[in-house]
Amino acid sequence: MKHLELSTRDQEVLRAVVDTFVETGEPVGSRTLSKKIPTAMSPATIRNIMSDLAESGYLTKPHASAGRLPTDLGYRLFVDALMSIRPVTTEEQNTIRKSYASGLDQVEQVVVQASKILSELTNNAGVVLLPGSDLLHFQHVQFIRMATNKVLVVLLSKSGVVQNRVVQIEEDLVQEELDRISRYLNDEFTGLSLREVREKVLSRMGEERDHIDLLYKRAEELSRRAFLEEDADASEDSLFVEGASRVYSQPDFSDHYEKLQSLYRAFEEKGKIVRILDECLTSTDVNVLIGAENDIEGMNDCSFVARPYFIDDRPLGTIGIIGPKRMQYDRMISLVEWTAKAVSTYLSHGNIPKDAK
């Protein structure tokens, strides 16, 4: 994002306003800043600089007689250019490592555990976007008869992700027939990504099928139901949120009933949160969305800090936090980055080395 050119003194004042407001939660006055800024500046000089920063859109004030607050633009400049990342402490690293000491087998277990630790360490909501089906590599499918014309589909990926869904079928099939179809499809699709499975199913649906036997026709029908038809709740099921109550209890919301109610509703809009985390998959860096940048009504006073996690070089999902935009970005960014790297290393190699790289 392009920012106006600010002098060194302007940057010092803006940095001090953000640091002080994050620390206290109170509007910041010039006299307070005059005691905090290393460069000698009088309160009058600081007031003039703060006024200029307000005119440029970096600061605001809740009412005429109050001190200044950073705007979303002010936070953005702070994050992009003014702050220094605070290293993850040895104690924080060890807390994350200990959570994997007993060993975790499935991707969901690994990333959900990481989001819980992130929530505890940051006192914010830990969020995880579980692997999207298109990115998973198919290992095994099993069809289980539940009732007349209703089948449970169990999909297992090579990375250990298990997906379940119930589908309706036109012809009622006994379990023995479903087992035969399962074996046939496992031979056909093992090793392909689910995106490749879908492409293969679609291509075969376009071919002439007069000559194929009954088993193949039934397998094709079940493939269409299992791999092509979208589940309306699938995207929401791919999101895990831990510790939303930690955000609700912070004074940024707990002291403001209307903001709190809006935030409750926003956390229920899981599809919108999924969309934001999904967009973060396009970058290998930490993504920071501040205030209204997240485009979710009710979360305009929140920020997202998120980063993709990987198996080898393949992105699987996103892990991060949601909290008040009055957060310690220098610490939040380093914690999310270190945790995402640790998760990626664990998924790829089964351990977390000292540097988690």
One-letter amino acid of 19: D
pLDDT at 211 over 50: no
Give the DSSP per-residue string, 220-286: HHHHIIIIISPPTTHHHHTEEEE-HHHHHTSHHHHT-HHHHHHHHHHHH-HHHHHHHHHHGGG-SSP
* Residue 60: predicted pLDDT: 95
Instruction: Convert 167-191 into a string of H (helix), E (strand) and C (coil).
Output: EECCCCCCHHHHHHHHHHHHHHHCC
* Residue 122: predicted pLDDT: 97
* Two structure tokens written together for 109: 């277990």
As a whole number, the mean pLDDT across the chain is 85
Enter the pTM of the model. 0.75
Closest CA to 271 of 238, 312, 246: 238
pLDDT tens digit sequence for 13-50: 999 999 999 999 999 999 999 888 888 889 999 999 99
Q: Which domains does the chain have, with CATH numbers?
A: 8-82 (1.10.10.10), 90-131+238-349 (3.30.450.40), 136-228 (3.30.390.60)
Which whole number is the average pLDDT over 222-232?
66
* Residue 54: predicted pLDDT: 95
By three-state DSSP, how is residue 324 classified? strand
Give the count of alpha carbons within 13 A of 158, CB side only: 14
Q: What percent of the chain is modeled with pLDDT above 90?
A: 46
pLDDT tens digit sequence for 229-280: 655 455 556 889 999 999 999 999 988 889 999 999 999 888 889 889 989 9
